[in-house]
Chain A
């Protein structure tokens, strides 16, 4: 008998996982990073925000950039749920569990960082009991909290599908019943996500003191309200592609059917093209109308070497248009270059969130003002890295013990999941006209 890993009873049947020793070895550096980050976070909470390089000018620093970026990247969870449960794109069932886990780590990481940023986690409930209903950020807080609850509920059935937990009838039955109402959670998640993604962008409609980021729009919704939604749903599927491809590369296994990548690539490509188009129109309107109306020429924003026009080019063309066009070409979409395209798209969205936070605050907005640069303190960076480590650890544990990729077993067995005639069957002939069992073990008559 093959020597089984001690945690084998917890691992799904029919799938191969690395030995427990190697898995723990993989976790060690991430755990170390997490511990380091927790220490940084502790310093920030215990000693105050003087541990950071945030100040009155840079109220939005690395943490808010991280929050905006991961919330956009985590949009794959609600969007995949919407496509699967509402639009019935059944092929995405291959990916929905991992999408939920990705969404959960992104949003929970964002909320934790936000609590460190706000600095008074014990008073977090204040925002719910003393809400400023005129603030877009209050709406964001409410929606993100609710959506994290939705993601937590969506995560429960995945956890309950663990081989050992499924043996407990109560868990089995609860998971079954929860799964049946998942469409409700998908719909609520979609509703919440649309609003908080939008409201994050909606903030720029009231940021009149920052002409670089200020945007006009329709009624109380500036153009950035819609651009934030569109960019998030465009890049969410690309991020899922990236995570899954990375998991496949690390485990050296096929985890989902190739057609899933094709679908995600197509969806991401079309949405990204739409986003780039609207973003370009928005940029032209801002440069020619919005900014001049408050006394700025477009050129004024790009005179500083650190934030020259290259950053605009990089955001819209290099990390926007280029990956969008790549994903729209079927041959590229189905090949290895799709990963490069997905990576560029994800980087593009992170750059956009960087521009809308750090660059916005760096640029002078008054005549006597000057460019200020911000560099996060080690405590800020440590907390940032802790979220990355937390995400890797939770995803790794989920991959090892939970059915993140339901078709993995079939794909591993070299079977076409939809075929009733396995591919290998044509290559074997069994007991043709005889009594023996072909290559199965036999004893002599």
Chain B
């Protein structure tokens, strides 16, 4: 130790002082090494998407993290702390067990049990399950799932987008990137996958852009998706949020004017920071 120092001799002072110094350095290097190693394992285990969602979720404002049961008026305002993973939430399980909240149920292709599906001028069929990132899921008779962008999301993206769907055979995970939408002059919008599964078919623009998935889990893993009476208050909350974002000066109370929402919001509001609106709406950072 300390070679090249003429007549150097170890003393207690050296031992204590240099011991403390190298212990601290050792701790720093070890912790850095552990972090790097853990990162390598996470990358090999393809956990990047899960981590991205965890971080994005924590950055969402509290009103966008509101519990589905609070949205539906079943409980007091309550902020979700689990990344919308209702299947892991004991509170959700308690409400299901007590019968306060209905279980997720799919109504099958084409059916629409609760009205026309017209919510505030947006086509949101109640036969579908909805992810908070504005995607929907329908279950087909063969057990496969179909996922697409909901009407509000589509109108917010606007006309003639360039969509990059994942290749057939790709495994996508719930809350990970499902597909990307690109518009000229803007960063690509990452749309979150509503469920986990393997892509077995895709639909192009003529069919309204969709993914057909073979679910990873036998029970399809749909607990986290909104359904039934939860859809309306969620859409209402989303519209309120959009109103604040698109009219930041706040126009004050306004009533429905009887019109229909336009098909291309960005074209109608050219001055808005759409990059931010899309990131807030599709829950990506």
Give the interface residue-count category, chain B: 35 or more
CB of B279 within 8 A of CB of A439, answer no
Taken together as a complex, chains A and B put the C-alpha atoms of A420 and B246 apart, in Å, by: 19
Taken together as a complex, chains A and B put the C-alpha atoms of A120 and B256 apart, in Å, by: 75
CB of B63 within 8 A of CB of A442, answer no
CB of B253 within 8 A of CB of A429, answer yes
Which residues, 174 to 189 on A, are CB-close (under 8 Å) to B? 174, 176-178, 180-181, 184-185, 188
CB of A2 within 8 A of CB of B271, answer yes
With contacts A166-B285, A173-B42, A173-B47 taken as known, whether A438 is within 8 angstroms of B255 at the C-beta atoms is: yes
CB of A442 within 8 A of CB of B121, answer yes
Cβ-neighbour of A420 out of B42, B79, B256 (below 8 A): B79
Chain A residues with CB below 8 A from B24, complex form: 146, 188, 191-192
CB of B5 within 8 A of CB of A177, answer no
Cβ-neighbour of B61 out of A163, A172, A417 (below 8 A): A417
Task: Decide yes or no whether B36 CB sits under 8 A from chain A.
Answer: yes
Taken together as a complex, chains A and B put the C-alpha atoms of A417 and B63 apart, in Å, by: 8
- In the complex, identify which listed stretch (B134-142, B160-168, B237-245) lies at the interface while the others stay far away: B237-245
Chain A residues with CB below 8 A from B273, complex form: 2, 14
- Closest B residue, CB atoms, query A11: B275
Chain A residues with CB below 8 A from B55, complex form: 172, 176
Task: Decide yes or no whether A29 CB sits under 8 A from chain B.
Answer: no
Task: Decide yes or no whether A114 CB sits under 8 A from chain B.
Answer: no
Chain A residues with CB below 8 A from B257, complex form: 434, 436, 438, 442
CB of A130 within 8 A of CB of B5, answer yes
CB of A435 within 8 A of CB of B48, answer no
CB of B187 within 8 A of CB of A9, answer yes
Chain B residues with CB below 8 A from A169, complex form: 43, 48
Chain A residues with CB below 8 A from B236, complex form: 430-431
Task: Decide yes or no whether A36 CB sits under 8 A from chain B.
Answer: no
Chain A residues with CB below 8 A from B48, complex form: 169, 172-173
Task: Decide yes or no whether B14 CB sits under 8 A from chain A.
Answer: yes
With contacts A174-B35, A430-B240, A441-B261 taken as known, whether A436 is within 8 angstroms of B120 at the C-beta atoms is: yes
Taken together as a complex, chains A and B put the C-alpha atoms of A422 and B245 apart, in Å, by: 12
- In the complex, identify which listed stretch (A39-47, A53-61, A131-139) lies at the interface while the others stay far away: A131-139
With contacts A133-B13, A438-B239 taken as known, whether A443 is within 8 angstroms of B260 at the C-beta atoms is: yes
Total inter-chain residue pairs, C-beta < 8 Å = 219
Chain B residues with CB below 8 A from A435, complex form: 118, 120-121, 256, 258, 260
Chain A residues with CB below 8 A from B248, complex form: 414
Chain B residues with CB below 8 A from A166, complex form: 52, 285
- Closest A residue, CB atoms, query B271: A2
CB of A139 within 8 A of CB of B17, answer yes
Which residues, 219 to 255 on B, are CB-close (under 8 Å) to A? 236, 239-248, 250-255
CB of A163 within 8 A of CB of B31, answer no
Chain A residues with CB below 8 A from B262, complex form: 441-443
With contacts A139-B17, A420-B66, A420-B70 taken as known, whether A13 is within 8 angstroms of B285 at the C-beta atoms is: yes
Taken together as a complex, chains A and B put the C-alpha atoms of A372 and B34 apart, in Å, by: 55
**Total chain A interface residues with beta-carbon distance under 8 A:** 69
Chain A residues with CB below 8 A from B285, complex form: 13, 163, 166
- Closest A residue, CB atoms, query B14: A133
Taken together as a complex, chains A and B put the C-alpha atoms of A14 and B262 apart, in Å, by: 24
Taken together as a complex, chains A and B put the C-alpha atoms of A177 and B31 apart, in Å, by: 10
Chain A residues with CB below 8 A from B218, complex form: none
Binary contact readout A418-439 vs B (1 if CB under 8 angstroms, 0 otherwise): 1111101101111111111111
Chain B residues with CB below 8 A from A163, complex form: 285
Task: Decide yes or no whether A250 CB sits under 8 A from chain B.
Answer: no
- Closest B residue, CB atoms, query A428: B243
Task: Decide yes or no whether A25 CB sits under 8 A from chain B.
Answer: no
CB of A184 within 8 A of CB of B256, answer no
Taken together as a complex, chains A and B put the C-alpha atoms of A427 and B48 apart, in Å, by: 40
State the Cβ distance, B142 to closest chain A Cβ, in Å: 33
Task: Decide yes or no whether B96 CB sits under 8 A from chain A.
Answer: no
CB of A418 within 8 A of CB of B62, answer yes
Task: Decide yes or no whether B25 CB sits under 8 A from chain A.
Answer: yes
Chain B residues with CB below 8 A from A138, complex form: 17
With contacts A13-B285, A163-B285, A166-B285 taken as known, whether A415 is within 8 angstroms of B63 at the C-beta atoms is: yes
For the A-B complex with A146-B28, A184-B31, A424-B244 known, give 14 more contacts whose Cβ atoms are closer than 8 Å: A131-B18, A133-B18, A139-B17, A142-B21, A153-B32, A163-B285, A420-B62, A420-B66, A420-B70, A425-B244, A435-B256, A439-B246, A443-B259, A444-B259
The 3 closest A-B pairs by CB, nearest first: A434-B256, A442-B259, A436-B256
A-B contact list, 25 entries, CB within 8 Å? A13-B285, A129-B5, A131-B14, A131-B18, A133-B13, A163-B285, A166-B285, A173-B48, A177-B39, A180-B35, A181-B31, A409-B59, A413-B244, A420-B70, A420-B77, A421-B77, A424-B250, A431-B120, A434-B257, A436-B259, A437-B121, A439-B246, A440-B239, A442-B121, A444-B259
